[in-house]
Chains A and B, each alone.
Chain A
Amino acid sequence: MDFRSCSGDPLIPWSTPEEAFEAWKLRGAGRPCDYTGIQWPFGDERLYTDGVFNTDPDRCESYGHDLATGAELTKEEYAARRPGGRAFLHAVAYEPSPETPTGEYPLLLTTGRSVHQFHSRTKTARAPQLNAAAPEPWVEVNAADAAAAGIRDGDLVAVTSPRGTVRAPARIRGIRPGVVFIPFHQGYFDAPGAFDRAANELTVTSWDPVSKQPLFKVTAVRLDKVT
């Protein structure tokens, strides 16, 4: 499209992976997260060797939070700890997950990625090779849990949480007993009405109060063979 900067130079000056990498490095130069020490194709073992962290109150990106609630600390509270380039190690009292296995939903569902797809596939679904490598979700299950439910490798199974049901073939693998896994890439934007293949329909709508990371790893579910 030949986008140009105000001075008439190409807006995107890079064309090779190394050039893109060098341009990306410059974005953070002099900022708290400075990657300019990384060399292409590999650099020093350690980026920061002086042991000085970016915790100075005038330089840090935040004054920190209470880990359990996400409550923000004030600059005064933070400065009173005299950060001075030292790192902090924070601890928080144990809290059970919002959802823990019960009699009705005895297994723990953890959702995640397959190597061929990215998030909800708005890009990777358009790359035929990638999409064909992992077109549908599956349910990874331990041999003992599968045997208890009368499930053999490849059987169609239903995974049900308090919010919905996903149906997909079982893959019996070495996953931890008591845990099942479903990749979360498949939804229904390219499969209208296929609500029973979206792992995201099963998870709680909740997130970590500080990082805002969604709670995709702690869903209580039931596993049934579809007959």
Chain B
Amino acid sequence: MHLGHYLGLLHRSQTCLADAFREVASAHGDEPDIRALCTRLAAQCDAHASQLAPFAARYAAEAPDEPDRLHSTLFTGTRGGGLGLLRDLHDLYLMAAECDVSWTVVGQAARGVRDEDLLRVVLRCEGETAVQLKWLRTRIRQAAPQALVVA
């Protein structure tokens, strides 16, 4: 059963997203809403990861060796300035999308193995990830004209 691998993938994706939110909060601290919201969403991602951890540990025992190329790197650090902010938010969007689709995958598997506890975690967290995507798109829409046309 490979569910353990996907739980590990999602756990790592949430941890990476939390770190990236924190880095963006710090790098673009002169945008007060970015600092406040990215810090809050980082904590939300940490909470997702800690709720996943016991399931990842339990299903890891039933998983064969980890397949090649399971993980991919979507974030390699922040950039400066207005265009940099746009690109950083764009990175966060792709990372949140990675988590979003992983919740769908894990949710389907949780239904398959009738793991009600895991399914409850998925249903609770996937809605928060969906709101993160919506906020990132909203903030990207706001940043794009200034960064691409005016600056």
- Chain A contact residues, CB within 8 Å of chain B: 65-66, 68-73, 95, 98, 204-207, 209
Q: Given contacts A68-B131, A69-B131, are A98 and B138 in contact (CB under 8 A)?
A: no
B14-34 interface mask toward A, CB cutoff 8 Å, 1 = contact, 0 = none?
000000000000000000110
Known: A69-B37, A71-B131, A71-B134. 8 other contacts (CB 8 A): A65-B138, A69-B132, A70-B33, A70-B135, A71-B135, A73-B134, A95-B40, A209-B33
Q: Say whether B32 contacts A72, CB under 8 Å.
A: no
Partner of A209, one of B37, B137, B141: B37
Query: Which residue of chain A lies nearest to B41 when distances are taken between CB atoms in the complex?
Result: A69
Instruction: Please count how many residues in chain B sit with their CB below 8 Å of the partner chain's CB atoms.
Output: 13
What would 16 A/B residue contacts be, using CB atoms closer than 8 Å? A65-B138, A66-B134, A66-B135, A68-B131, A69-B37, A69-B131, A69-B135, A70-B33, A70-B138, A71-B131, A71-B134, A71-B138, A72-B138, A205-B32, A206-B32, A207-B33
Partner of A71, one of B32, B33, B137: B137
Query: Which residue of chain A lies nearest to B32 when distances are taken between CB atoms in the complex?
Result: A205
In the assembly, what is the distance between CA of A68 and CA of B36, in Å? 11
Query: Which residue of chain B lies nearest to A72 when distances are taken between CB atoms in the complex?
Result: B138
A-B Cβ contacts below 8 A, count: 38
In the assembly, what is the distance between CA of A15 and CA of B40, in Å? 52
Query: Which residue of chain A lies nearest to B141 when distances are taken between CB atoms in the complex?
Result: A72
Q: Within the complex, what minimum Cβ distance (angstroms) separates B39 from chain A?
A: 9
In the assembly, what is the distance between CA of A68 and CA of B135, in Å? 10
* Residues of chain A within 8 A of B37, CB atoms compared: 69-70, 209
In the assembly, what is the distance between CA of A66 and CA of B33, in Å? 15
* Residues of chain A within 8 A of B36, CB atoms compared: 98, 206
Q: Max chain B CB contacts within 10 Å: which of A71, A73, A95?
A: A71
> Which residues of chain B from 57 to 71 have any CB-CB distance to chain A below 8 Å in the complex?
none
In the assembly, what is the distance between CA of A206 and CA of B131, in Å? 20
Q: Say whether A206 contacts B33, CB under 8 Å.
A: yes
Query: Which residue of chain A lies nearest to B37 when distances are taken between CB atoms in the complex?
Result: A69
In the assembly, what is the distance between CA of A72 and CA of B141, in Å? 10
Q: Say whether A69 contacts B134, CB under 8 Å.
A: yes
